Amino acid sequence: MTVRHTIGDLIKEGLLYAERGKGTFVAEPILKRDLSMLSSIIDDMRKTGYKIIVKVLDLKTVPASKEIANKLEMTTKNKIIMIERLKLIENKPFFLEKSFLPYELCPNLAHDNLNKYSIYSLLEDKYNSALDSGNISIEAIATNKYQSNLLQLNKGTLILNLVQTTYLKNKQIIEFIRAAAVTEKFKYYVYRKRKM
């Protein structure tokens, strides 16, 4: 009885899962991220001891489209750096991210090692950018063909769609991000407090 109760508790915590007629198995760990902190997913995951691989899929300096110019509060005459990266944990893809940054604030970023370093660490350490805050929205969406192929999911699988605008201390926008996260890998949480 005690063993059955303990197994039930471990299933509730997500450490085990049961399949009817087959047995009880060890579940893959769910990665927890505190969204109240403005931090890099690469730095967060490396601190947990997991092997993280980052693959740069696309990297270019281009004139800002009308949509991205609006998101970064600039004009289409300005140049931006667009970076698309796929992040793998223990060799399994879990995070697909496209970042847009104002070229004038980090002109050599395209030449930095974006497979090894997080964009945040490069912005702070190399470009002396004082990161301050970010607005993020999260929603569940079905994968399209492109996302499915890269994240190794069936087309139409639910993923978390994250959209974030990141600000410097002077309130200037430094980055606009669109990302897709595999839902079974992540659990996000935020500390909330009652307004007085």
Strand order in the sheet with 79-89: 52-63, 79-89, 92-102, 173-182, 158-168, 131-142
State the average pLDDT for the chain. Answer: 87
Give the model confidence (pLDDT) of 66-80 as tens digits: 999 999 999 999 999
For 178, the domain range is 35-189
Distance CA 189, CA 45 (A): 15
Give the model confidence (pLDDT) of 149-170 as tens digits: 999 999 999 999 999 999 999 9
Q: Are residues 136 and 176 in the same domain?
A: yes
Q: Are residues 21 and 46 in the same domain?
A: no
Q: Are residues 139 and 114 in the same domain?
A: yes
Q: What is the pLDDT along the chain (196 residues), one digit of tens a residue?
A: 677 777 677 666 655 667 777 777 666 666 677 778 888 887 777 777 778 899 999 999 999 999 999 999 999 999 999 999 999 988 899 999 999 999 999 999 989 999 888 999 999 999 999 999 999 999 999 999 999 999 999 999 999 999 999 999 999 999 999 999 998 766 777 776 787 7
Distance CA 132, CA 154 (A): 37
Count of residues in the chain:
196
